[in-house]
């Protein structure tokens, strides 16, 4: 029983030193758990992104007392691995958001006025295509799939047609739209 008490006291002492930011304790944390954190991040990221997130985990451990206090005991390796996976996931999401934002010719984010103008121009092109090139029999499929962006099953069910029929019409519409846009028929 005395060994269990000594171990609990030792764990409490270690946790106190960790929370306080004791240099030796944090150094031991880095040395003992670097590989576990690197492996957790490595499941999601490679190269410089991987290295950046691993360093971010330990930067938080070293520089943020509130972050260290959020560890309440238990397996430090598991806690650090969870933190690492969460940061890696956040990093991936950030990169995906940045890649999906369109830039103007100067490589900058377009302003609200430019986005409104581009959206209005796109609507005009779509309406011109619908009026001039799209056969009446495919108007409802175009509306459901391209404008409302419904999935094929839902669109087919709503329109009361077979999914294969919808897919065929969608394929034909895409071909018409491609020719319309690529032949310079758009304004």
Does residue 161 carry a pLDDT above 80?
yes
Does residue 169 carry a pLDDT above 70?
yes
Q: What is the pLDDT of residue 186?
A: 46
Q: What is the pLDDT of residue 100?
A: 67
Q: Rounded mean pLDDT of 44-56?
A: 89
For 53-63, the pLDDT digits (tens) are: 999 999 999 99
Q: What is the pLDDT of residue 93?
A: 86
Distances in whole angstroms, Cα of residue 185 to Cα of each of 128, 139, 170: 10, 19, 20
Does residue 17 carry a pLDDT above 60?
yes
Which band of pLDDT confidence, cut at 50, 70 and 90, is reported for residue 27? very high
Percent of the chain scoring above 70 in pLDDT? 85
Q: What is the pLDDT of residue 97?
A: 76
List the domains of the chain with CATH numbers.
2-100 (1.10.1740.10), 112-182 (1.10.10)
For 89-103, the pLDDT digits (tens) are: 998 888 777 776 665
């Amino acid at each position: 029983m005395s060994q269990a008490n000594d171990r609990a006291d030792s764990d409490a002492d270690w946790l106190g030193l960790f929370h306080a930011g004791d240099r030796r304790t944090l150094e031991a944390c880095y040395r003992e758990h670097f590989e576990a954190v690197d492996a957790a991040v490595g499941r999601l990221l490679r190269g410089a992104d991987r290295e950046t997130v691993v360093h971010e985990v330990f930067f938080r451990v070293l520089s943020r007392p509130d972050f260290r206090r959020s560890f309440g005991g238990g397996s430090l390796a598991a806690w650090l691995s969870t933190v690492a996976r969460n940061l890696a996931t956040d990093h991936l999401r950030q990169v995906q958001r940045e890649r999906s934002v369109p830039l103007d010719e100067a490589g900058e984010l377009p302003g609200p006025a430019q986005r409104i103008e581009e959206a209005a121009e796109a609507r005009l092109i779509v309406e011109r295509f619908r009026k001039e090139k799209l056969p009446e029999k495919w108007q409802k499929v175009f509306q459901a799939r391209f404008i409302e962006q419904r999935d094929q099953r839902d669109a087919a069910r709503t329109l009361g047609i077979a999914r294969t029929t919808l897919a065929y019409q969608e394929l034909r519409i895409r071909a018409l739209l491609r020719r319309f846009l690529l032949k310079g028929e758009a304004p």
